[in-house]
Amino acid sequence: MVLSDLRRLRMLRELAERGTLAAVASAIGYSPSAVSQQLAVLEREAGARLVEPAGRGLRLTDAGKVLARHAAVLLNVAETAETELANLTQEVRGRVRAVGLQSAARRLLIPALVEVARSHPLVEVEITELELEAALPELRLGTVDLVISDEYEGHPRPRPDGVDHHLLLREGTRLVLPAEHPLAARPGPVALPSLRHEVWASSGSGTGHHAMIIGTCRAHGGFDPDLRHRSNDADVQLELVRSAGAVTLLPDLTLPAADPRLAIRDIAGTSLTRRLYAMIRQQSPTSPALNAYIEALHQQT
């Protein structure tokens, strides 16, 4: 058996993880027909059938599962070899694919990109806005190099095997009210039970922000919030507060410096915090380009 192209092995591994040709094609920038053709070539090289029809899609045969497992090892070895070679050169060069939620992209990822472009012009940084739940599989597959994860106090996030966490920032989380709200007339912290009958805005179901608001209202207010509005865009949530009279809890990084239409208050009796982490795959050594970008991220905090 002669396997001549690591790209085909990557396609097989992607199919094992993603389950459909369309998902593989979208992830690697090929058409589904091109992926199918490359898998057919891989089958000829392997001398075994690797995929078979399953309903309207494909699934791996036993031979395909065996080869996909070994493909993961071979791809990791190739990546390690590239990293070790890069560490032998005097120039910091390469590509970093970074992913984060909106506030992290705007306040951390983009400023770090600017710093790296200034200090290491041979490093190319690609930034994508993506929630953690969608980003973790991409990190595991190696299609991204770094993910910014957020974690609210009392609401731990996944700690997958094979991933290192670098703490970047610890920040407060505040109550945001319309400026004309009766509770905004008082300068001090707001008692959460007094917000029982308010309409709330949050991020989408399944996100850490959504879970944090529900958990905080239950633990410190004794009620389930009326989560009538959902958006993963903090600016949309802020506009819902300004224009629709909603309330929400948002971390400092997402808040405007000053806005006469908003009132920002602490919650009485508790200190709500959020931590931001840079997550990378465990690998030894880490590429110079990725190290440079992580250093630039720390400079932003």
pLDDT value, residue 3: 61
Which residues in the chain are classed under CATH 1.10.10.10? 6-86
CATH number of the domain at 6-86, please? 1.10.10.10
Name 62's Cβ contacts closer than 8 Å, sequence gap at least 6.
Answer: none
Output phi, psi for 36, to 5 deg: -60, -40
Q: Which amino acid is at 12?
A: L
Q: Identify the burial level of 45 via C-beta atoms within 10 angstroms of its C-beta, where 0-12 means exposed, 13-18 middle and 19 or more buried.
A: middle
From the list 176, 175, 172, the residue with the least C-alpha distance to 241 is 176
Rg of the Cα atoms in the chain: 23
Q: Which amino acid is at 89?
A: T
pLDDT value, residue 152: 93
pLDDT value, residue 53: 85
The rounded Cα 98 to chain-centroid distance in angstroms is: 9
pLDDT value, residue 57: 76
Quote the tokens at residue 209.
């922000």
From the list 154, 165, 100, the residue with the least C-alpha distance to 273 is 154
pLDDT value, residue 220: 94
What's domain 92-169+275-299's architecture? 3-Layer(aba) Sandwich (3.40)
* Total-model pTM: 0.76
The Cα 4–Cα 6 span in angstroms is 7
Which residues in the chain are classed under CATH 3.40.190.10? 92-169+275-299, 172-272
Please, what is the Cα angle at 269 between 268 and 275, to 5 degrees?
Answer: 90
pLDDT value, residue 210: 94
pLDDT value, residue 1: 55
The per-residue pLDDT string of the chain (301 residues; one tens digit each, 9 = 90 and over) reads 556 678 888 888 888 888 888 888 887 878 888 888 888 888 888 889 998 888 777 889 999 899 988 888 887 787 777 777 777 776 788 899 999 988 899 999 999 999 999 999 999 999 998 888 788 888 888 889 999 989 998 888 878 888 999 999 999 999 999 999 999 998 899 999 999 999 999 999 988 899 999 999 999 999 999 999 999 999 999 999 999 999 999 999 999 988 999 999 999 999 999 999 999 988 767 889 999 999 999 999 8
Give the fold, CATH level 3, of 172-272. D-Maltodextrin-Binding Protein; domain 2 (3.40.190)
pLDDT value, residue 294: 95
